[in-house]
Amino acid sequence: MVDSRSDLRLDKRLVEALYLIAPGTPLREGIDSIIRAKTGALVVLGDVSSISFLFSGGIRLDSDFTSNMLYELAKMDGATILNRNATRIHMANVQLMPDATIESLETGTRHRTAERVAKQTDAIAISISQDRDLVSIYVDELRYVLTEMRVLLAKSDQALQTLEKYRVRLDQVADNLTALEFEDAVTLHEVVIVVQRSEMVTRVAGEVERYLVELGREGRLIAMQLEELMTGVVRDRMALIRDYLPGRSPGLEKVEERIAELSADELFDPDVVAKIMGFRKRAKAAEVRLSPRGYRVLSSIPRLPRSVIENIIDAMGSLKAVMLAGEDELVKVEGVGRVRAREIGEGLMQLRELSLAEKYSFR
């Protein structure tokens, strides 16, 4: 059984279940009523035809789901059987008879039955403790205990504060890199630092997203803050990697996938990150000079389509060449007219002045 809560919330099967019982859903309203009444309950969500071999007795209902109906049915001893989307109640007061040889670490009868049902079928089993206000979700071999709302909100707030600090630092190192790009003084060291910081921001954001799944409608404000803090992060990281991938690199998607799989210790090792990006260990990262293609800087110019950026880089080859190109040269690129060529020149000049001003203001 997996014990890490973070790892559990990454599982798509569990995410499906958490969405169904998130605050604001009819199923969660029914569960909350059961908790307040301290009656306890066993609720199974799945295809009746595939799990009916476990049934013994019960009352067939086949009625639309309501939270009040679930609350009333929970007063009976047996399990309540819902369809997979929790929109209909198929049966109530069902005695479930899962395979007793299936290993279970649970001690309570209700929880043990729920665990075995989930392991034996593809159903989602929810066990609500009668005395401890404990809601356990079982999906296949996974078990997840719902966190109290106040605890979730506190953890989400803490994660957002961490994300905000990480984002500030990411912006600082990214601005420094931009200034160096305009000065044609970039080394592998600066590129790796931005990649590392971007991945750290992404990981903290992923933690907040997993809290949001369980928070449901209670996480609306947190979701808005998260969206604001993550604006441009994914786009800029993809552009950054494309800017510096060497000719024989494994490709953008593969690089991102491998970086995401790194442990915390590996992520902080610049040699590991550089190797993933396709750079062989020839010298110290601070001594390896690089020149950007220009994807990241050009994507910062307002109203410049991605297709036009591709055409410009295909034609010019590098950011330095784009900066040295005159209006007449840019106009020759497909998708770049006279007005857009002028906007590109002005945009690059503004970005250069801004990045250099921010770089030297920190000194």
- Are 181 and 191 within one domain? yes
- What is the CATH classification number for the domain harbouring 105? 3.40.1700.10
Average pLDDT over residues 311-319: 94
- Looking only at the bridges linking them, the beta strands covering 135-139 and 142-145 are antiparallel
Q: Over pLDDT 70: what percentage of the chain?
A: 94
Using the 3D structure, point to which of 230, 259, 291 is the last residue of a domain. Answer: 291
For residue 235 the two structure tokens come to: 């786009």
Distance of CA 36 to the CA centre of its chain: 33
Average pLDDT over residues 87-115: 94
Per DSSP, 217 falls in state G
- Are 129 and 237 within one domain? no
CA distance 220 to 276: 37
Kindly indicate the confidence band of residue 326, based on its pLDDT and cuts at 50, 70 and 90: confident
Kindly indicate the confidence band of residue 149, based on its pLDDT and cuts at 50, 70 and 90: confident
Residue 176: predicted pLDDT: 92
- Are 189 and 287 within one domain? yes
| Cα–Cα distances in angstroms (integers) from residue 251 to residues 31, 241, 259, in the given order | 47, 9, 12
Residue 2: predicted pLDDT: 35
Residue 213: predicted pLDDT: 86
Residue 248: predicted pLDDT: 65
Using the 3D structure, point to which of 146, 181, 215 is the last residue of a domain. Answer: 146
Domain limits for position 332: 293-363
- Are 127 and 158 within one domain? no
- What is the CATH classification number for the domain harbouring 322? 1.10.150.20
Please say whether the beta carbons of 336 and 283 come within 8 A. no
Is the predicted pLDDT of residue 9 greater than 90, yes or no? Answer: no
Is the predicted pLDDT of residue 150 greater than 80, yes or no? Answer: yes
**Residue that has been written with the tokens 């989602």 in this structure:** 124
Is the predicted pLDDT of residue 5 greater than 70, yes or no? Answer: no
- Are 56 and 95 within one domain? yes
- Are 10 and 133 within one domain? yes
CA distance 119 to 112: 11
Burial of 343 per CB tally in 10 Å (0-12, 13-18, 19+)? middle
Residue 361: predicted pLDDT: 61
Which phi and psi (to 5°) does residue 114 adopt?
Answer: -60, -45
For residue 61 the two structure tokens come to: 């209902």
- Are 208 and 221 within one domain? yes
Longest dimension (CA), the chain: 83
- Are 126 and 236 within one domain? no
Tally of structural domains, the chain: 3
- Are 201 and 123 within one domain? no
What value does the mean pLDDT of the chain take? Answer: 90
| Cα–Cα distances in angstroms (integers) from residue 327 to residues 244, 312, 313, 345, in the given order | 26, 12, 15, 8
Residue 251: predicted pLDDT: 83
Burial of 37 per CB tally in 10 Å (0-12, 13-18, 19+)? middle
Average pLDDT over residues 115-121: 96
- What is the CATH classification number for the domain harbouring 236? 1.20.1260.110
- Are 126 and 260 within one domain? no
Using the 3D structure, point to which of 248, 268, 291 is the last residue of a domain. Answer: 291
For residue range 38-84, list pLDDT tens digits in order: 999 999 999 999 999 999 999 999 999 999 999 999 999 899 999 99
- Are 133 and 187 within one domain? no
Average pLDDT over residues 144-171: 94
Rounded to 5°, angle at Cα 321 from 316 and 323: 120
- Are 131 and 93 within one domain? yes
Per DSSP, 216 falls in state G
Residue 249: predicted pLDDT: 64
CA distance 336 to 304: 10
Who's near 39: CB < 8 A, 6+ residues apart? 74, 75, 130
Give the DSSP per-residue string, 4-57.
-HHHHHT-HHHHHHHHHTSTTSHHHHHHHHHHHHT--EEEEES-HHHHGGGEES
Is the predicted pLDDT of residue 116 greater than 80, yes or no? Answer: yes
- Sheet strands (E) in 216-287: none
Is the predicted pLDDT of residue 11 greater than 90, yes or no? Answer: no
Position 296: which residue type? R
Is the predicted pLDDT of residue 285 greater than 60, yes or no? Answer: yes
